[in-house]
Structure 1
Amino acid sequence: MGERIRSLRKQKGLTQEALSEKADIHYSYISGIENADRNISLETLEKIINALDVVPLEIFQFHELDFSGVQADKKVALDALSSLLAERNTEEVLTILRVSKEIIKAIDSPDTGKPKS
């Protein structure tokens, strides 16, 4: 959640201080949320959503995060993947699942990444 808030804040050209003023939240709390040092209540999340002037759904679109050059943890990456798949229909999700299984099989292959026949 913190990464997504940071991303949206930067897209809006806001500093942590500017967002904290708009949301009526202390700037150190915004920093704590963005750095995953603090949990966020629904009330605070609502204040941040309003301050960012986004629709609530947008805050949960984790697949919009930019992972290039960033050391993301597994949970953040899984949240992004889940968010991306949530927008697809069942047939598309099943196709992606089948392809993913083949990719994992290739990665796990002892023959330097070549899929087993």
Structure 2
Amino acid sequence: MDDRKILKLVGARIKVLRKEKGLSQEALGEKGGFHFTYIGQVERGEKNVALINLGKIAEALEVNVSQLFAYVNDEIELTETDILIQEIVDMLRDSSLENIQLSRNILKEILKNYRTNQK
């Protein structure tokens, strides 16, 4: 993947998350300790943002850093498998720890039985 493309994808994802939270660039900048122009540059893919700063931005957005890399973008050709996995992750994201553990155990059993039947 070309360097600029990854910067633009991460920046676009930050912008989506910021808007979902109802934050302006200025408000996100204040929460994360950045100037709003820096946030704008990151969102446009103009800045090669450091990992430490990604952590601060994720914290200000109240998301896990990994969510900054879960882009949904028309420029990326996602496979049907990628789309289904993302749907599962999205369903689990707001679940309780107990429900996530239960879901994992159910999935383990389903896959174990599937592999057994394939032999």
TM-score by length of 1: 0.57
Q: What CA RMSD, in Å, does the superposition of the two structures yield over aligned residues? A: 2.2
Cα distance per residue 1:50-86 (max 9 Å; x no partner)? 00001222111112x5x5xxxxxxxxx23x637x728
**Distance of 2:66 and 2:47 partners within structure 1:** 21
Partner of 2:39: 30
Q: Does 1:11 align with 2:20?
A: yes
Where does residue 81 of structure 1 map in the other structure? 78
CA distance in 1, matches of 2:47, 2:11: 9
- Work out the CA distance in 2 between the residues paired with 1:43 and 1:11: 22
Normalising by the residue count of structure 2, what TM-score does the alignment of the two structures yield?
Answer: 0.56
Which amino acid letter does the alignment assign opposite residue 15 of structure 2?
A: R
Query: 2:78 corresponds to which letter in structure 1?
Result: L
The question of whether the paired residues in 1 share the 8 Å contact of 2:31 and 2:60 is answered with yes
Q: 2:52 aligns with which of 35, 43, 47?
A: 43
**Identity of paired residues, percent?**
39
